[in-house]
């Protein structure tokens, strides 16, 4: 899912959360976590291309094309979401933790729905088990299938790993 989609989703969910909680802390945490979970994509980029000649345009293009051989996505994990919700209901019952939990959860669910991936891709244990292999996590045939269904990506998946 693209950054602007996550931004819109985060704005909407933060607005709804504010309506129900009237908490700036919850609203801010929801908005920020719904977007900044994607900071883990920098790890894939630097792992694949190194630090020299970094380009923000190349960064976004590589992410849109699922161009990496390895997808670590350390923040994109249902295990982390479960931990956040457990902390929210037990040790850290603060509004900001509720917002963080909601933002992370919605981000991962949206990625699960809109990205061409194995249904287990967003489980960290699954990625570790398959050694973070991009072809296993984001299979080319699924990318082609989703492209034909026009799932709103607005990108050409023919420029992915295998066809470059």
Predicted confidence (pLDDT) per residue in 14-37, tens digit: 999 999 999 999 999 999 999 999
Give the model's pLDDT for residue 155. 46
- Greater confidence (129 vs 161) lies with 129
% residues pLDDT > 90 (the chain): 67
The pLDDT of 64-76, averaged and rounded, is 89
Give the model's pLDDT for residue 138. 86
Length of the chain: 164
The pair phi, psi for residue 113, each rounded to 5°, is: -75, -45
pTM over 0.75: yes
Question: Helix 78-89 crosses helix 95-114 at what angle (to 10 degrees)?
Answer: 160
**Rg of the chain, C-alpha, whole Å:** 17
The pair phi, psi for residue 24, each rounded to 5°, is: -65, -35
Beta bridge mates, 70? 133
């Amino acid at each position: 899912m693209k950054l602007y989609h996550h931004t819109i989703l985060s704005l909407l969910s933060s607005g709804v959360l504010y309506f129900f909680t009237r908490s700036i802390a919850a609203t801010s945490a929801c908005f920020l976590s719904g977007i900044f979970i994607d900071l883990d994509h920098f790890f894939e980029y630097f792992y694949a291309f190194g630090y020299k000649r970094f380009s923000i345009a190349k960064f976004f293009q590589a992410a849109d094309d699922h161009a990496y051989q390895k997808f670590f996505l350390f923040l994109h994990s249902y295990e982390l979401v479960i931990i956040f919700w457990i902390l929210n209901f037990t040790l850290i019952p603060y509004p900001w933790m509720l917002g963080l939990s909601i933002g992370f959860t919605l981000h991962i669910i949206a990625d699960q729905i809109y990205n061409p991936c194995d249904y287990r891709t967003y489980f960290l244990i699954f990625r570790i088990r398959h050694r973070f292999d991009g072809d296993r996590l984001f299979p080319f045939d699924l990318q082609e299938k989703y492209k034909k269904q026009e799932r709103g990506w607005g990108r050409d998946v023919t420029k992915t790993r295998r066809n470059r």
